[in-house]
């Protein structure tokens, strides 16, 4: 079944009225997607460290067990760090969700096909690594329950959302890494951020 989903629409639904949800986005398109949905101090969009978005999310989830942490990343980024799914499966944080926006392409470098275009299924990898629940989504009907799944189902949970491969206008978050780090910590930790 071919997907009918557009990535920006999927991410907008996931992040609408997000309250205190903590979001890490992988290098490239997902960082633009979360920014298109509305920049926030509780966003940590990665401009580097390709392959490590899920581990940033794990570190944050273990440090903040009472807050929900959502990692949004692309198939190419996730493929570079498949081992991190195994590491998350061992730690089993209940407050972590990983959502891979899978367009089967390296979108920033000329839309070359990724492994998922050849049938590699990252949701099955996550399942084998011990994620408590996994989903594969490619239609509007399936999209309906994604938000509740990502926001509140006991984690670690993993969703693979197949989306149309499309080139979209860039919506860039701040580029200064020190700024992104400090604004996130201040928003989350308050004054303690500057004293620790």
Partner 1 sequence: MKRIDDSWPDQIYKTLKDAGVRQVAYVPDGGHKRLIELCLADKEMRAVVLSTEEEGIGLTCGAWLGGVRSALLMQSSGVGNCINNLGTVSECRFPLLMLITMRGQKGEINPWQVPMGQATPAVLEAMGVVVHEANSAGDIAPTVDAAARLAFGSYQAVAVLISQAVIGIKSFQEQSAR
> Can residue 178 be called a binding residue for partner 1 (CB under 8 A)?
yes
Least Å distance between CB 143 and partner 1? 27
Stretch that binds partner 1, among 102-110, 137-145, 160-168, 172-180 (CB under 8 A): 172-180
Phi, psi (rounded to 5 degrees) for 126: -60, -40
Nearest to 93 by CA among 52, 148, 132, 122: 132
With the C-alpha atoms ordered 85, 87, 89, 94, is the resulting torsion angle positive or negative?
Answer: negative
Q: Which of residues 126-165 bind partner 1 (CB under 8 A)?
A: none
The β-bridge relationship of strands 43-45 and 69-74 is unpaired
Q: Closer to partner 1 at the Cβ: 52 or 146?
A: 52
Residues with Cβ < 8 Å from 27, sequence gap 6 or more?
A: 46, 47, 48, 49, 50, 53, 77
Which residues in 5-34 contact partner 1 (CB under 8 A)? 24
Residue (of 39, 37, 49) closest to 168 by Cα position: 37
Least distance CB 88 / partner 1 (angstroms): 10
Q: Are 3 and 164 in contact (CB under 8 A)?
A: yes
Which is closer to partner 1, CB of 113 or CB of 181? Answer: 181
With beta carbons less than 8 A apart as the criterion, state whether 38 and 84 touch: no
Using rule CB under 8 A, residue 83 touches partner 1? yes
Between 120 and 188, whose beta carbon lies closer to partner 1?
188
Query: Nearest distance from residue 167's CB to partner 1, in Å?
Result: 26
Report in angstroms how near the CB of residue 196 gets to partner 1 at its nearest: 6
Please report, as ranges, the residues that interact with partner 1 according to CB under 8 A: 24, 44, 46-64, 67, 81, 83-84, 86-87, 90-91, 177-178, 180-181, 184-185, 188-189, 192-193, 196
């Amino acid at each position: 079944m071919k997907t009918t989903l557009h990535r920006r629409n999927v991410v907008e639904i996931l992040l609408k009225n997000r309250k205190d949800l903590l979001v890490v986005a992988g290098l490239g398109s997902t960082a633009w997607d979360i920014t298109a949905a509305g920049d926030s101090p509780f966003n940590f969009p990665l401009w580097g460290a390709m392959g490590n978005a899920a581990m940033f999310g794990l570190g944050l989830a273990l440090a903040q067990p009472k807050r929900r942490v959502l990692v949004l990343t692309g198939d190419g980024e996730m493929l570079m760090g498949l081992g991190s799914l195994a590491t998350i499966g061992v730690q089993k944080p209940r407050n972590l969700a990983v959502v891979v926006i899978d367009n089967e392409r390296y979108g920033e470098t000329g839309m070359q096909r990724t492994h998922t275009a050849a049938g590699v299924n990252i949701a099955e990898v996550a399942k084998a690594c011990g994620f408590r629940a996994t989903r594969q989504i490619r239609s509007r009907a399936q999209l309906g329950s994604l938000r509740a799944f990502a926001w509140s189902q006991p984690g670690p949970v993993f969703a693979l959302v197949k989306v149309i491969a499309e080139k979209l206008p860039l919506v860039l978050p701040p580029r200064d890494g020190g700024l992104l780090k400090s604004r996130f910590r201040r928003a989350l930790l308050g004054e303690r951020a500057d004293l620790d």
